[in-house]
Amino acid sequence: MTTLVLLRHGETLLTPQRRISGSGGSDPGLSPAGRRQARATADALARRGGIEAVVTSPMRRCQETARSAAARLGLSVQVDRDLREADFGAWEGLTFAEVRERYPDDLSAWFASPESPPSGAGETVQQVTRRVAAVRDGLRARYAGATVLVVSHVVPVRTLLRLALQAPPHSLFRMEVAAASLSTVTYEEDGTATVRALNDTHHLD
């Protein structure tokens, strides 16, 4: 059995404002609250034990979160560009309320179809799914039978969970993945996936 422990990065200054922060805009680091979350998560992962590798998105907030965990676990950090957040095009930096006001038709189309991009040539859900699925397959092959910490963002983490559940694309918008939350998916040798945990934030209490 191969296990992927999915960790969303800790908070940035944009997170409490619920502003969209993808790979097409700014690349904020962790806020003071986010750094505290990263340390608490690292402690929880150390208590859990058994993690043999740490792989992260290249974006600052993920690398900072991953480095905190890896230092506590005595592991190095590997960066995989395809774990980056979706590119939200013209929606970067806006709240969804602002997007709904400025780009109502584009937002409706994005929610309705995984092939519809955000305004301004952003990345479709389908495009994100392809690259994230490729990362998953690569990790399963490279770390067969091991447990890997994957540090990423809302859309990639939700995508891995959706694929594990074999759920339709619109289910992506029906999951909560909070900052510094942990979710876990296991994979049998035949590829059968099981979601063992979703949006666990107990370590932040």
Contact 162, 18 (CB under 8 A): no
Question: Both tokens of residue 138?
Answer: 């690569």
Q: Are strands 182-187 and 193-200 parallel, antiparallel or unpaired?
A: antiparallel
Distance of alpha carbon 199 from alpha carbon 175, whole angstroms: 9
Beta strands in 30-113 (DSSP E): 51-56, 77-79
For this structure, is 202 an active site residue?
Answer: no
> At a CB cut-off of 8 Å and minimum separation 6, what does 101 contact?
none
Other Cβ atoms within 10 Å of 28 Cβ, number:
18
CA–CA separation, 57 vs 63, rounded Å? 7
Out of 9, 11, 64, 92, the active site residue is: 9
Which of 11, 64, 85, 123 does the annotation list as catalytic? Answer: 85
| CA separation for the pair 179, 153 (Å, rounded) | 9
Q: What are phi and psi of 53, to 5 degrees?
A: -155, 155
| Residue 170 designated active-site | no
Point out which residues pair with 197 in neighbouring strands.
184
Catalytic residue set: 9, 85
